Structure 1
Amino acid sequence: MNDVSTYVPSPPPRWVENFAKFGLTAKGVVYCLVGVIAFMAAFEIGGKSTSSAGKANILKTIQDLPAGNVLLGIVALGLLCYAIWRFIQAVKDTEDKGSGAKGVGKRLRYVFSGLVYAALAFLAGRMVLSGSSGSGNDSRETLAAKLLEQPFGQWLVGIVAVGIIITGIYQIYYGYSEKYKKKVQSGGLKHEVEHQMIRAGKVGYMARGIVWMVIGYLFLQAALSSSAQQAGGSSDAFQFLESSSYGSYILGAVALGLVCYGVFMFMRAKYQPINT
């Protein structure tokens, strides 16, 4: 009889790790492009405007590049891989969050993230297959309109607004407190690489949180005025920031932060251990 102490467990499924790394890379591409276009819009470089910096319009930017449909198809596949990885994290609890209220809440965030990027992957895939830029409708404006049609619609939109604002505040807190350092430090990286990752993540999460908070504020305005046109996505958030005092500098700073977030995704894809 074999000694059980000599048993060697099979390695974790490599395909999950590949999905995660491919997905993180695709997400990094999207955020870097969003940040670059938003920065160009802030200082009126190359005729770019804030409407060009939304995620859906970034997909159109990729499509307009040489061999754009091929590149967009790769990005769409990467975003789909990222969404699948998020669903695996939620269902299989690969991060050991547990089944308590706090753990379930975090796993539900993985599901929400997966749904967002699955929708973006679907939009990109549809653009590749149709060879066009697809619908120009703002998905968040459409969501607000659908909610306002329901009983207690303004309250529903208001609840969504508060949820988005809380998400934004948490992103800023998550970045400022450097709570993500545990994942970075678990990779056994060189001190210089680890420091760069932590710094890029801190700026990136805080910039992302600001965008989420502005989107939540726009949803709150839609709820108060009962007008879906007040709601909007990232491009509307960029326009809001640009229209404020010292708007170009504020938008430029947030845009650079989003580029940092994209770089952080690249570094996570290369260095961070993926739990499977």
Structure 2
Amino acid sequence: MIRRLAIKEEIKKAADAAEEASNSRAFEIAARSGFAVSGILHVLIGLIALQLAFGNSGEADVSGAIAQLASQPFGPLLLWVCFAACAALALWQLTNAIFGHRRQTNPKLTKRLSEAGQGIVFAGLALTIMSFAVGQAKNSRESTSDGTATLMQAPFGVVLLVAVGAGIMIAGVVFAVRGFTRSFKKDLVLSSRQGFRTFQIVVGTVGYIAKGIALLLVGLLVVIATVSARPEQSTGLDGSLKALKEQPYGPYLLVAVAVGLIAYGLFLMVKAKTMRA
């Protein structure tokens, strides 16, 4: 009994230390900069997508955007800074999900799950950036196809892949709904200056809708590739945008999505500064 109480006390001390660290101003600033890094990557993806719409080549996904950063002066140093920011944001989100609501009488499960999900996403982004920094980056389009093919051979792999594709499509719907309803505003401290306040709302609205469309396309390709047993069709965001271009009025649609992704990137940069604590 005494040993059990001692263990519980040690766990409480560890939780208090983790919560105190996550609430430190320096750590919060480092974590918020992770949103800015994600914003820069989305802007780069949007610019690459614009190039695709006008007939140029490029890889319009996270790997393509990171490669663009790596090619800049002091690229390796820039990548390590971006890695640190995304890793800090991942840790911040996961810490908040686990310890951040202990003093609330009835913390919302959806908020905890959202923070945990964002933590996992940014942890994955940090690892992707690190793979470029250490020179072990892989083509994300080929990796997605290979991963799909591997899962299709596993027990219940087809069911899992369809579930993953459906989950990505649902996430796309959620993003689009947040854009149309402007519910993202509750996450921000809206500026008292009318011009900047309008900018916050416009880039958020356009960005969330475009991000939702992009996720819908990615999820749809995963489902189609799985159902048709053609894993090479599961090509991630880059393949989805290139497939969009091949549709009727495709270049115009691609330009619209590209502009929206740029807007979402700008929104994330604004969020880094004005996110509600």
Q: Give structure 2 stretches of 5+ with no counterpart.
A: 1-19
Cα pair distance change 1:209/1:259, threshold 3 Å? same
Which of 40, 55, 58 in structure 1 is aligned with 2:65? 58
Spell out, residue by residue over 1:168-208, the C-alpha distance to the aligned partner (whole angstroms, 9 max, x if none).
01110011000011222x45532322221011000000000
Partner of 2:175: 171
Q: Aligned to 2:139, what secondary structure does the other structure show? A: coil
Contact persistence 1:35–1:256 (CA under 8 A): yes
- Greater share of helix residues, 1 or 2? 2
Spell out, residue by residue over 1:129-150, the C-alpha distance to the aligned partner (whole angstroms, 9 max, x if none).
23x6x22253433432332122
**Counterpart-to-counterpart distance in 1, 2:102 and 2:212:** 23
Residue 15 of structure 1 pairs with residue 26 of structure 2: yes
Partner of 1:260: 263
**Counterpart-to-counterpart distance in 2, 1:206 and 1:36:** 17
Cα pair distance change 1:75/1:43, threshold 3 Å? same
**Counterpart-to-counterpart distance in 1, 2:26 and 2:82:** 18
Cα pair distance change 1:206/1:94, threshold 3 Å? farther
Cα pair distance change 1:96/1:109, threshold 3 Å? farther
**Counterpart-to-counterpart distance in 2, 1:267 and 1:29:** 11
Contact persistence 1:97–1:106 (CA under 8 A): no
Q: Aligned to 1:193, what secondary structure does the other structure show? A: helix
Spell out, residue by residue over 1:46-91, the C-alpha distance to the aligned partner (whole angstroms, 9 max, x if none).
x333xx2111121111111222112222222222222222213322
Contact persistence 2:179–2:204 (CA under 8 A): yes
**Counterpart-to-counterpart distance in 2, 1:143 and 1:104:** 31
Q: Aligned to 1:53, what secondary structure does the other structure show? A: coil
Partner of 2:11: none
Cα pair distance change 1:98/1:90, threshold 3 Å? farther
Partner of 1:192: 195
1:97 is displaced (CA, Å) by 9.4
**Counterpart-to-counterpart distance in 2, 1:38 and 1:86:** 30
Cα pair distance change 1:179/1:237, threshold 3 Å? same
Q: Give structure 1 stretches of 5+ with no counterpart.
A: 1-9
Q: Give the length in aligned residue pairs.
A: 256
Partner of 2:14: none
Contact persistence 2:190–2:200 (CA under 8 A): no
**Counterpart-to-counterpart distance in 1, 2:139 and 2:69:** 16
Which of 57, 65, 88 in structure 2 is aligned with 1:48? 57
Residue 149 of structure 1 pairs with residue 156 of structure 2: no
Q: Aligned to 2:80, what secondary structure does the other structure show? A: helix
Report the TM-score when normalising by structure 1. 0.84
Output the amino acid matched with 1:245.
P
User: Alignment RMSD, CA only?
Assistant: 2.5
Cα pair distance change 1:182/1:234, threshold 3 Å? same
Q: Aligned to 1:120, what secondary structure does the other structure show? A: helix
Which of 129, 138, 146 in structure 1 is aligned with 2:134? 129
| Equivalence map 1:64-213=2 (5 Å) | 64-93=71-100, 103-130=108-135, 134-138=137-141, 139-184=143-188, 186-187=189-190, 189-213=192-216
Contact persistence 2:170–2:216 (CA under 8 A): yes
